Amino acid sequence: MIILYKLNRVIVSFVTTIINKLLMCISGVVYGKGFRSCGLIHFRNYSGKCSIVMGKYVNINSCGMANPVYGNGKTYLITTDNGKVIIGDNVGLSNCVLFSFNRIEIGPETTMGAGTKIYDSDFHSTNPDDRINGNINIPSAPVLIGKRVFIGSGVTILKGVKIGDESVVGAGSVITHSIPSREVWAGNPARFIRKIE
Protein backbone atom coordinates (compact mmCIF):
# COMPACT_ATOMS: atom_id res chain seq x y z
CA MET A 1 0.00 0.00 0.00
CA ILE A 2 2.77 2.46 0.90
CA ILE A 3 4.62 1.63 -2.31
CA LEU A 4 1.49 2.33 -4.38
CA TYR A 5 0.94 5.63 -2.56
CA LYS A 6 4.54 6.72 -3.18
CA LEU A 7 4.40 5.69 -6.83
CA ASN A 8 1.10 7.51 -7.30
CA ARG A 9 2.53 10.64 -5.66
CA VAL A 10 5.62 10.57 -7.89
CA ILE A 11 3.43 10.34 -11.00
CA VAL A 12 1.04 13.09 -9.84
CA SER A 13 3.97 15.35 -8.91
CA PHE A 14 5.66 14.82 -12.27
CA VAL A 15 2.52 15.51 -14.30
CA THR A 16 1.21 18.45 -12.24
CA THR A 17 4.62 20.15 -12.10
CA ILE A 18 4.62 20.24 -15.90
CA ILE A 19 1.01 21.45 -16.07
CA ASN A 20 1.60 24.12 -13.39
CA LYS A 21 4.65 25.43 -15.27
CA LEU A 22 2.48 25.82 -18.38
CA LEU A 23 -0.25 27.56 -16.35
CA MET A 24 2.34 29.90 -14.83
CA CYS A 25 3.66 30.84 -18.27
CA ILE A 26 0.13 31.57 -19.47
CA SER A 27 -0.71 33.55 -16.31
CA GLY A 28 2.49 35.64 -16.30
CA VAL A 29 3.81 34.01 -13.13
CA VAL A 30 7.61 33.99 -12.77
CA TYR A 31 9.25 30.92 -11.22
CA GLY A 32 12.84 29.81 -10.65
CA LYS A 33 14.62 26.55 -11.35
CA GLY A 34 13.79 23.48 -9.34
CA PHE A 35 10.07 24.33 -8.98
CA ARG A 36 8.04 21.30 -7.88
CA SER A 37 4.38 20.73 -7.15
CA CYS A 38 1.96 17.98 -6.25
CA GLY A 39 -1.53 18.88 -7.42
CA LEU A 40 -2.85 21.68 -9.61
CA ILE A 41 -2.29 25.21 -8.27
CA HIS A 42 -4.98 27.83 -8.86
CA PHE A 43 -3.45 31.06 -10.18
CA ARG A 44 -5.47 34.29 -10.42
CA ASN A 45 -2.91 36.86 -11.50
CA TYR A 46 -5.22 39.84 -12.02
CA SER A 47 -2.47 42.40 -11.36
CA GLY A 48 -0.68 41.40 -14.55
CA LYS A 49 2.65 39.97 -15.59
CA CYS A 50 5.25 39.39 -12.87
CA SER A 51 2.83 40.07 -10.01
CA ILE A 52 3.50 36.56 -8.71
CA VAL A 53 7.20 35.74 -8.47
CA MET A 54 8.73 32.57 -7.06
CA GLY A 55 12.39 31.90 -6.31
CA LYS A 56 14.35 28.69 -6.84
CA TYR A 57 13.36 25.27 -5.51
CA VAL A 58 9.87 26.29 -4.39
CA ASN A 59 7.72 23.27 -3.50
CA ILE A 60 3.92 23.61 -3.49
CA ASN A 61 1.37 20.98 -2.50
CA SER A 62 -2.14 21.50 -3.81
CA CYS A 63 -4.18 18.36 -3.21
CA GLY A 64 -5.32 16.08 -0.43
CA MET A 65 -2.96 13.31 -1.49
CA ALA A 66 0.04 15.60 -1.07
CA ASN A 67 -1.00 16.64 2.42
CA PRO A 68 -4.11 15.03 3.92
CA VAL A 69 -4.15 17.44 6.90
CA TYR A 70 -6.57 19.73 5.06
CA GLY A 71 -8.50 17.10 3.15
CA ASN A 72 -8.96 18.11 -0.46
CA GLY A 73 -7.55 21.60 0.04
CA LYS A 74 -5.88 23.42 -2.84
CA THR A 75 -3.28 26.15 -3.12
CA TYR A 76 -4.51 29.49 -4.46
CA LEU A 77 -2.17 32.34 -5.41
CA ILE A 78 -4.26 35.42 -6.17
CA THR A 79 -3.38 39.03 -6.91
CA THR A 80 -5.80 41.84 -7.59
CA ASP A 81 -5.56 45.64 -7.93
CA ASN A 82 -1.83 46.32 -7.41
CA GLY A 83 -1.17 43.13 -5.45
CA LYS A 84 2.09 41.21 -5.52
CA VAL A 85 3.07 37.79 -4.18
CA ILE A 86 6.80 37.19 -3.80
CA ILE A 87 7.98 33.77 -2.66
CA GLY A 88 11.66 33.25 -1.80
CA ASP A 89 14.00 30.34 -2.51
CA ASN A 90 13.36 26.93 -0.94
CA VAL A 91 9.89 27.84 0.34
CA GLY A 92 7.33 25.09 0.95
CA LEU A 93 3.56 25.73 0.79
CA SER A 94 0.85 23.16 1.36
CA ASN A 95 -2.78 23.77 0.40
CA CYS A 96 -2.44 27.50 1.20
CA VAL A 97 -4.31 30.62 0.08
CA LEU A 98 -2.35 33.83 -0.57
CA PHE A 99 -4.63 36.71 -1.62
CA SER A 100 -2.94 40.05 -2.29
CA PHE A 101 -4.30 43.52 -2.90
CA ASN A 102 -1.01 45.07 -1.76
CA ARG A 103 2.04 42.81 -1.17
CA ILE A 104 2.72 39.41 0.38
CA GLU A 105 6.37 38.48 0.67
CA ILE A 106 7.67 35.16 2.03
CA GLY A 107 11.36 34.87 2.87
CA PRO A 108 13.62 31.96 1.88
CA GLU A 109 13.45 28.56 3.57
CA THR A 110 10.06 29.27 5.11
CA THR A 111 7.56 26.43 5.52
CA MET A 112 3.80 26.98 5.64
CA GLY A 113 1.51 24.22 6.91
CA ALA A 114 -1.66 22.98 5.27
CA GLY A 115 -4.56 25.39 5.18
CA THR A 116 -2.58 28.55 5.93
CA LYS A 117 -4.28 31.71 4.66
CA ILE A 118 -2.62 35.10 4.14
CA TYR A 119 -4.71 38.18 3.38
CA ASP A 120 -3.15 41.64 3.03
CA SER A 121 -6.55 43.32 2.89
CA ASP A 122 -9.84 43.45 4.79
CA PHE A 123 -11.71 42.87 1.47
CA HIS A 124 -14.39 45.32 2.64
CA SER A 125 -14.41 48.74 4.23
CA THR A 126 -15.50 48.94 7.85
CA ASN A 127 -17.48 52.06 6.91
CA PRO A 128 -21.02 51.09 5.78
CA ASP A 129 -21.22 54.08 3.42
CA ASP A 130 -18.08 52.88 1.62
CA ARG A 131 -19.58 49.40 1.24
CA ILE A 132 -22.83 50.80 -0.17
CA ASN A 133 -20.91 52.99 -2.65
CA GLY A 134 -19.08 50.13 -4.35
CA ASN A 135 -16.82 48.99 -1.52
CA ILE A 136 -14.34 51.86 -1.75
CA ASN A 137 -11.51 52.68 0.69
CA ILE A 138 -10.67 49.06 1.46
CA PRO A 139 -7.82 48.90 4.01
CA SER A 140 -4.73 46.94 2.97
CA ALA A 141 -1.12 46.70 4.16
CA PRO A 142 1.81 44.43 3.20
CA VAL A 143 2.40 41.07 4.88
CA LEU A 144 6.11 40.32 5.23
CA ILE A 145 7.33 36.94 6.44
CA GLY A 146 11.04 36.53 7.18
CA LYS A 147 13.42 33.72 6.38
CA ARG A 148 13.33 30.23 7.94
CA VAL A 149 9.90 30.81 9.53
CA PHE A 150 7.70 27.81 10.36
CA ILE A 151 3.94 28.34 10.17
CA GLY A 152 1.72 25.50 11.42
CA SER A 153 -1.44 24.25 9.73
CA GLY A 154 -4.65 26.27 9.69
CA VAL A 155 -3.02 29.62 10.45
CA THR A 156 -4.59 32.90 9.27
CA ILE A 157 -2.29 35.91 8.81
CA LEU A 158 -3.95 39.30 8.38
CA LYS A 159 -2.92 42.59 6.79
CA GLY A 160 0.08 44.57 8.01
CA VAL A 161 1.71 41.64 9.83
CA LYS A 162 5.47 41.16 9.82
CA ILE A 163 6.91 37.88 11.08
CA GLY A 164 10.59 37.97 11.96
CA ASP A 165 13.23 35.47 10.87
CA GLU A 166 13.19 31.95 12.36
CA SER A 167 9.95 32.41 14.28
CA VAL A 168 7.34 29.68 14.77
CA VAL A 169 3.56 30.11 14.59
CA GLY A 170 1.42 27.39 16.20
CA ALA A 171 -1.33 25.56 14.31
CA GLY A 172 -4.73 27.27 14.13
CA SER A 173 -3.40 30.69 15.14
CA VAL A 174 -4.82 34.00 13.92
CA ILE A 175 -2.02 36.53 13.49
CA THR A 176 -3.19 40.13 13.80
CA HIS A 177 0.05 41.73 15.10
CA SER A 178 3.68 41.52 14.05
CA ILE A 179 5.97 38.86 15.55
CA PRO A 180 9.66 39.55 16.30
CA SER A 181 12.43 37.21 15.15
CA ARG A 182 13.04 33.87 16.92
CA GLU A 183 9.83 33.73 18.93
CA VAL A 184 7.01 31.18 19.25
CA TRP A 185 3.46 32.55 19.01
CA ALA A 186 0.13 30.71 19.08
CA GLY A 187 -3.57 31.22 19.75
CA ASN A 188 -6.55 33.22 18.53
CA PRO A 189 -5.58 35.97 18.57
CA ALA A 190 -1.96 34.80 18.67
CA ARG A 191 0.12 35.69 21.69
CA PHE A 192 3.77 35.32 22.67
CA ILE A 193 4.66 31.86 24.04
CA ARG A 194 8.43 31.89 24.39
CA LYS A 195 11.76 32.90 22.87
CA ILE A 196 13.71 30.48 20.69
CA GLU A 197 17.17 29.95 22.14
Which residues participate in catalysis according to the annotation?
Answer: 124
Indicate the SS3 state at residue 153.
Answer: coil
- 111: Cβ–Cβ under 8 A, 6 or more apart, which residues? 91, 92, 149, 150, 151
**Distance, CA of 166 to CA of 111 (rounded, Å):** 10
Instruction: Identify the bridge partners of residue 142 per DSSP, sorted by sequence position.
Output: none
Cα 164 from Cα 3, distance rounded (Å): 39
